[in-house]
Structure 1
Amino acid sequence: MTELWKPVGGVFTKEPPVLPDAGYPLSTVSIVILVAVIFTAALVFRIARQSKQPEWRLRQHMLDIGVFSTLIYIIVITVLVWGRISTLLVMPLNEFGDFVAGIFGPVAFLWLVLGYFQQGDELRLSTKALEDQADELKRSVEHQATLADATLKQIEVQQQALQLQLEDRDKTLLASFNIEMNFKLLSEQEQVVFSARLTNTGNDSFRVYVDFDADMTVGNRYFFGDIKSTSHREFDVIFLESEEGVEGLCYVSYEDARGNIRRESFSCRYKPTDSQPWIEKIRSVPLAPPYFVRAESTPD
């Protein structure tokens, strides 16, 4: 007869009762806790040391948090299954798969979350880099615009300086003429003859011509050759007869010392009732120095 086992509760069984699992020894649990504390302390110390740097953020340590958490988790799981490794060898494949999925599921989820935060940081850094590039490009454009404005102003100053130099050079080359007319005689044809004096108060002039508008005088052009500075030439002017008088322009054309053709203009008017003609130089806009008369170039 099979020996019966009588448990403490008073129920008889044919098999010996299964004793409840006594759990892990206290030493093993203590070692696991100690290892976890050491890893956690190392992680905290590493983060605290780098937190003093400027622009520090906790998200910079996602990799460290993931690695330390994974190591602690592996150690804990290893300790938990170490005494039951033999049962893994006789497990059906579906149960073994469930076991592996349950073991690595938390780790996979942890790295998924950490990867999400890491990707967000990378996108944030990329956005900041693009914004910095845009700001740098904007500053570069503004700097180039400033340089362009400065260059334009410098060119304008140089042009003004060159213009002043040209005007100063012209001043040293220009002649300055005055024309005076006085009554001389009455010709046999009863034409009034005036004695005109052309005086050069400027620089030397060469190949000097005096021209009157058509229908003003008898003989519209007078040639004098060279007229030196402070020299003068005299010539006779006969105005055409007209009851209303004549009015027009008189031109003095000449070449300066550099061979440039210059011209000065005079406004001229004569009426039979006048004792002598009225003639006045036409001045251009005053330049530097003030009241400087610019000679006009004659057409070829």
Structure 2
Amino acid sequence: MKVRSEILGGLVTGVYLVGVATLVYWKRTNIPDLELNEIGDFLAGVFGPVAFLWLVLGYLQQGRELKLSSEALQLQAQELKNSVEQQKELVDVTRLQFESEMNRLRSIQERREKDIMPELFARVDGTVRMGQQCFLGLNIGNDGATIFKVAIDFGGDLSGLNIFIPEWPKGKFQQFSIKFDLDDPAIEETITIAYKDADHNTKAAYFDIRRVDISGESDPPQFEVQPREK
């Protein structure tokens, strides 16, 4: 165990002063004969070593304090580094939790969208030809979730067939009879079905009706209905 410099300095100073006192005691008969400058030189000589001793001890003490301060700063720096690493790990964990939660919510949203999605279809239900006119039977139905505020828009010259349906559940379908003039070289129409799903999102589905072929003068033309994305 190291002896503190203050204790060591006190012991050395004490021993030294005892020695000085002993010397003064032995020379006590000569002291009254000393001049003032000689007394000053004596005191300077006596206390000079003591002052130097404590100067050295103070320097050593200051060095130890600086070392302790440096070690404390290094410890603080290490603690700060550890804290930064912990914060980084916490950020990574939080990010992973956030991504997991976002994936979970996205999965729930996808399931919800699938659950409330209708399955709209349109198919030809026979054609009848009368001269240069053709009557096309068309069925439009829903095999999926119930939809609301449904507007079926044929557009153009067929706008008279447009209808509005407040609620369209699964299994319900609508029948239409569409008249076409066969003199038209390219018969093609687009049906737009706009609706709101159970979450009040506005969506739309599109179907194209086009003439495929006419086999003969008296044969009814062939039509096809295809869904289309917009």
TM-score (norm 2): 0.80
- Quote how far apart the aligned CAs of 1:116 are: 0.7
Q: Residues 180 and 96 of structure 1: is their aligned pair in 2 closer, same or farther, counting only changes over 3 Å?
A: same
The one-letter code sitting in structure 2 at the alignment partner of 1:205 is I
How far apart are the structure 1 equivalents of 2:204 and 2:119?
8
Q: Check if 1:163 corresponds to 2:100.
A: no
Distance 1:238 1:103 in 2: 133
Asked if structure 2 preserves the Cα contact closer than 8 Å seen for 1:243 and 1:271, the reply is: no
Change (3 A) 1:245 1:132: farther
The within-5 A match list for 1:88-237 is: 88-186=31-129, 190-212=132-154, 218-219=158-159, 222-225=162-165, 226-237=167-178
1:213-239 Cα distance to aligned partner (Å, 9 max, x none): x66x63287325132212211113456
Per-residue CA deviations over 1:53-95 (Å, capped at 9, x if unaligned) read xxxxx4x622222111111211222222211123223311111
Cα offset, 1:98, TM superposition: 0.9
Bigger CA drift: 136-145 or 231-240?
231-240
Q: How does 1:1-300 map to 2 (within 5 A)?
A: 51=1, 58=2, 61-186=4-129, 190-212=132-154, 218-219=158-159, 222-225=162-165, 226-238=167-179, 243-244=185-186, 246=188, 250-258=191-199, 260-266=200-206, 268=208, 270-271=210-211, 273=213, 275-280=222-227, 282=229
Determine the C-alpha separation between the residues in 2 that align with 1:74 and 1:242: 132
Q: Secondary structure at the match of 2:54?
A: helix
Offset, 1:186:
3.6
Structure 1 residue 191, shift from structure 2 partner: 4.2
Paired residue secondary structure (1:235): strand
CA displacement, residues 23-65 of structure 1 (integer Å, 9 cap, x when unaligned): xxxxxxxxxxxxxxxxxxxxxxxxxxxx2xxxxxx4x622222
Q: Partner of 2:30: helix, strand, or coil? A: helix
CA distance in 2, matches of 1:230, 1:86: 135
TM-score (norm 1): 0.63
Asked if structure 2 preserves the Cα contact closer than 8 Å seen for 1:206 and 1:255, the reply is yes
Counting aligned pairs with the same residue, the percent is 30
In 1, are the aligned partners of 2:141 and 2:174 still within 8 Å (CA)?
yes
Shift of 1:199: 1.8
Query: How far did residue 242 of structure 1 move?
Result: 5.2
Matches of 1:265 and 1:117 in 2, distance apart?
90
Q: Any unmatched runs of 5+ in structure 2?
A: 215-221
Deviation at 1:267, TM superposition (A): 5.1
Q: CA deviation at 1:112?
A: 0.8
Q: CA deviation at 1:100?
A: 0.8
Cα distance change of structure 1 residues 242 and 272 upon mapping to structure 2, 3 Å threshold = farther
| Structure 1 residues not aligned, in runs of 5+ | 1-50, 52-57, 283-295
Separation (CA, whole Å) in 2 of partners of 1:161 and 1:103 = 87
**1:230 match: secondary structure:** coil
The amino acid across from 1:223 in the alignment is: I
Q: How many residues align?
A: 221
Secondary structure in structure 2 of the residue aligned to 1:86: coil
**Higher RCO structure, 1 or 2 (CA under 8 Å, sep 6+):** 2
Supply the distance in 2 between the matched residues of 1:278 and 1:231 (Cα, whole angstroms). Answer: 19
Between Structure 1 and Structure 2, the one with more strand by share is 2
* Residues 272-296 of structure 1: per-residue CA shift (max 9 Å, x gap): 53721240364xxxxxxxxxxxxx9
